[in-house]
Copies of this chain bind each other. A is one copy, B any other.
């Protein structure tokens, strides 16, 4: 009978729709503010959330990345999306582990009279990366973009000069002893003891 086959067909199709809609409902429960949304709009919102989460994830793992060969100073304004913390500056410096560089950094930041909300030191394979999250000391400066741009410039300049100072001393060592360059490869995969022993 063709009639029975048709019934099976329609029922199977019904099952299929149910499966899809169930997943759609799951998505509705996962993405906030989509409870009573269009199917299409829901999917659009899912896409947006997916992008946002991906951005956050890569941003978070970016913080873990540490260039092994190039020294760098980065200063950027952190809008921080949801946390409603306006005009927060995030400054980072990545270079070889050098004793004394930490106190230089500390002195430089002290001189700028900032509120340091987070200070992070990471070491990896003889390299170090310092990240500072901070904002201006004065309350009134919070909304002033120009103040933060100036502050960012000052921080960048201060860090840069510290970097130059220490890389200059390294270049001096490089010229005086040829074995120094090799040392960078020797300490390419050291244990913590050799890589951070001088630093701590």
A138 at interface, CB cutoff 8 A? no
Q: Verify B193–A118 contact, CB threshold 8 A.
A: no
Q: Verify B56–A43 contact, CB threshold 8 A.
A: no
Q: Verify B110–A118 contact, CB threshold 8 A.
A: no
Which residues of chain B have C-beta atoms less than 8 A from A27's C-beta?
43, 46-47, 50
Within 8 A of B (CB), among A85-134: 102-103, 106, 109-110, 113-124, 132
Which residues of chain B have C-beta atoms less than 8 A from A60's C-beta?
56-57, 60-61, 63
Which residues of chain B have C-beta atoms less than 8 A from A103's C-beta?
200
Q: Verify A40–B16 contact, CB threshold 8 A.
A: yes
Closest chain-B Cβ to A154's Cβ sits at a distance in Å of: 15
A54 to B116, CA, bound (A): 28
Q: Verify B53–A110 contact, CB threshold 8 A.
A: no
A151 at interface, CB cutoff 8 A? no
Q: Verify B19–A47 contact, CB threshold 8 A.
A: no
Q: What residue of chain B has the Cβ atom nearest to residue A59's Cβ?
A: B60
A3 at interface, CB cutoff 8 A? no
Q: Verify A193–B106 contact, CB threshold 8 A.
A: yes
Also in contact, A106 and B50, with CB within 8 A (given A44-B23, A60-B57)? no
Ranked 10 nearest A-B pairs via Cβ: A60-B60, A23-B43, A116-B192, A53-B53, A121-B121, A120-B122, A19-B40, A110-B193, A119-B123, A56-B57
Residues of A at the B interface (CB closer than 8 Å) are 16, 19-20, 23-24, 26-27, 30-31, 39-40, 43-44, 46-47, 49-51, 53-54, 56-57, 60-61, 63-64, 102-103, 106, 109-110, 113-124, 132, 137, 189, 191-193, 195-197, 200
